[in-house]
Amino acid sequence: MMDINDRNDSGWKNGGGQPPQSEPQRQYYYMARLRAYVEEKSLALGRPLTASIQTFGCQMNARDSEKLAGILREAGYEQIDSEEADFVLYNTCTVRENANQKVYGRLGTLNHWKKDHPHMMIALCGCMMQEPEVVEKIRKSYRFVDILFGTHNIFKLAELMVTRIEAADMVVDIWKDTDLVVEDLPNRRKYSFKSGINIMFGCNNFCSYCIVPYVRGRERSREPEDILNEIRRMAQDGVTEVMLLGQNVNSYGKTLDTPMTFAALLREIEKIDGLKRIRFMTSHPKDLSDELIEVMGSSDKICKHLHLPLQSGSTRVLKEMNRRYTKEQYLDLVERIRAGVPDISLTTDIIVGFPGETQEDFLETMDVVRKVRYDSAFTFLYSKRTGTPAASMPDQVPEDVAKERFDRLLKEVQEISRQVTARHVGTVQQVLVEEINRQDASLVTGRLSHNTVVHLPGDASMIGKILDVKLTECRGFYYLGEPV
Ligand code: 5AD
Ligand code: SF4
């Protein structure tokens, strides 16, 4: 097999001149050079070169992976799911410690494969790479990794790959922060009919347990016109549902030269022809405005679902978490949302075992869960993240205590979710069909505006369509339905 680092007779290196200095032109230059390289290697190997992107973590990473996939497609790689590929890229998450462990484990396996396929390239990017200790560890103990980059420069993938092919050593390019937003790069959507879209990057909230502001940098919003144009292009290309992405969408637009509220942005997006559904995440309760509730209440396109992370129901713990709302303010907000947007589905994130959490604090969380009655809730055991203020707080909760609380909370959340989800049984609702059911190929799977999953009889021709469906049976977290 050919060595990818074989630098003899590399026609792809000649010609092409100097790289442009401005973006995105510079990246198109590198994509073209990478493509020439891919063509040459494909010819030598007698098959296409393959690339595999493995995505960990949140929607933000999923969207970043679509951009990375777009660059690789432009360069001529064939994308495959299997990690037995010519280029493997891990887009990592570090929000909780177990996410990091997973990556190290899988890298070990990848190393075995690479030993038999020396031409292969391995790259790591995403949140975990923004932690200096991680980079140190990989440089020392995972020498077989070819490229490391972070969250701020994913647009540079092609340039970094060309650099690696030309260099003899690991390429490391981590930016501490950036105010750069590079527009107009290729991307490859996972679904033809729906897409995530970044409206802002980074976070300024510094919740005391959270590593995100350190790995995703300061908050910056995209220009409304760039967002609107991107969605218009998507809608013309068949996208009916968009998910607006930001760590705290409710503070959208505050840092723009001409500030604009999130609610005002939604009003503009609503006007785009062809677009049928608008979702967004995540909302911080402290910044959720009455203007937003009003826009949600009067919109035909904004979905009847709001993800509103609670984190804790104890005002004392919320203060330690630096969340900047109280239990009462949260409950009051929920009431206002329910009054303004009847029948809305609420979901949440809750952390159990935050440092200093007492039994009383935990019962406050249980109390909010019983009062709000979430459609569903993601529950997490507190995970200590080095460098965050909470990591050095006294009274870290013993594991067994936290685990016991976690189990109690999960049981409660699931029981309530079962009851709440069932409220639409017997009604006809609109379902956007997303895919063939993974267990039973005679079924298709889609979602309500409320985000609840529905399985119904159907075939591939229904994918991407919004259908009227009678919800015949609720099975806990999902429905069975019949098209009407
Ligand atoms: N430990 C446990 N859960 C965390 N989250 C963020 N940081 C931590 C942590 N250190 C959870 C929060 C957030 C979700 C994405 O992850 O609930 O809303
Ligand atoms: Fe983390 Fe809080 Fe920012 Fe969410 S709002 S990303 S929990 S710091």
Pocket of ligand 1 (CB under 6 A): 95-96, 209-210, 309, 311, 349, 351, 380, 382-383, 385
Residue 8's contacts (CB-CB under 8 Å, 6 or more residues apart) are none
Q: Is the CB of 251 under 6 A from ligand 2?
A: no
CA of 213 to the centre of ligand 2 (A): 7
User: Can you say how many angstroms the Cα of residue 380 is from the centroid of all Cα atoms in its chain?
Assistant: 17
Could you give the CA distance from residue 444 to residue 433 in angstroms, rounded to a whole number? 7
Helix, coil or strand: residue 427: coil
Dihedral sign for Cα atoms in the order 185, 188, 192, 198: negative
Q: Strand pairing of 466-474 and 453-457?
A: unpaired
Helix (H) or strand (E) holding 195: strand 194-198
> CA end-to-end span of the chain, whole Å?
57
Q: Which ligand is closest in space to the CA of residue 219?
A: 2
Helix (H) or strand (E) holding 351: strand 345-352
- What Cα–Cα distance (Å) separates residue 317 from each residue in 61, 157, 311, 384, 438? 29, 41, 9, 16, 41
CA of 211 to the centre of ligand 2 (A): 8
- Summarize the chain as % helix, strand, coil (round to 5): 40, 20, 40
Beta strands in 1-130 (DSSP E): 50-55, 78-79, 87-92, 121-126
Could you give the CA distance from residue 448 to residue 435 in angstroms, rounded to a whole number? 14
The pLDDT of residue 8: 37
The pLDDT of residue 128: 97
Exposed / middle / buried, residue 470 (Cβ in 10 Å: 0-12, 13-18, 19+)? middle
Nearest CA to ligand 1 atom 6: 210
Look up residue 299 and give its two tokens. 């919109």
The pLDDT of residue 107: 95
Quote the crossing angle between the two packed helices 157-166 and 59-74, to the nearest 10°.
Answer: 60
Please answer whether residues 353 and 397 qualify as being in contact, where contact means their C-beta atoms are separated by less than 8 angstroms: yes
Could you give the CA distance from residue 62 to residue 449 in angstroms, rounded to a whole number? 21
pLDDT in tens, the chain (484 residues): 333 333 333 444 544 578 999 999 999 999 999 999 999 999 999 999 999 999 999 999 999 999 999 999 999 999 999 999 999 999 999 999 998 999 999 999 999 999 999 889 999 999 999 999 999 999 999 999 999 999 999 999 999 999 999 988 999 999 988 888 888 888 899 999 999 999 999 999 999 999 999 999 999 999 999 999 999 999 999 999 999 999 999 999 998 999 999 999 999 999 999 999 999 999 999 999 999 999 999 999 999 999 999 999 999 999 999 999 999 999 999 999 999 999 999 999 999 999 999 999 999 999 999 999 999 999 999 999 999 999 999 999 999 999 999 999 999 999 999 999 999 999 999 999 999 999 999 999 999 999 999 999 999 999 999 999 999 999 999 999 999 9
Q: Cis ω on the peptide bond leading into residue 20 (within 30° of 0)?
A: no
Mutate to test the pocket of ligand 2, among 130, 151, 207 (most ligand atoms within 8 A of CB): 207
Q: Strand pairing of 478-483 and 453-457?
A: parallel
Could you give the CA distance from residue 255 to residue 203 in angstroms, rounded to a whole number? 12
DSSP for 143-187 reads: TT--EEE-SS-GGGHHHHHHHHHHSSS-EEE--S-----------
The pLDDT of residue 16: 58
Kindly compute the dihedral angle of the four CA atoms of residues 360, 365, 371, 377, in this order, to the nearest 10 degrees. Answer: -160
What atom in ligand 2 is closest to the CA of residue 95?
1
Could you give the CA distance from residue 432 to residue 445 in angstroms, rounded to a whole number? 9
Helix (H) or strand (E) holding 456: strand 453-457
Mutate to test the pocket of ligand 2, among 248, 308, 380 (most ligand atoms within 8 A of CB): 248
Look up residue 52 and give its two tokens. 């595999």
Q: Which ligand is closest in space to the CA of residue 95?
A: 1
CA of 96 to the centre of ligand 1 (A): 7
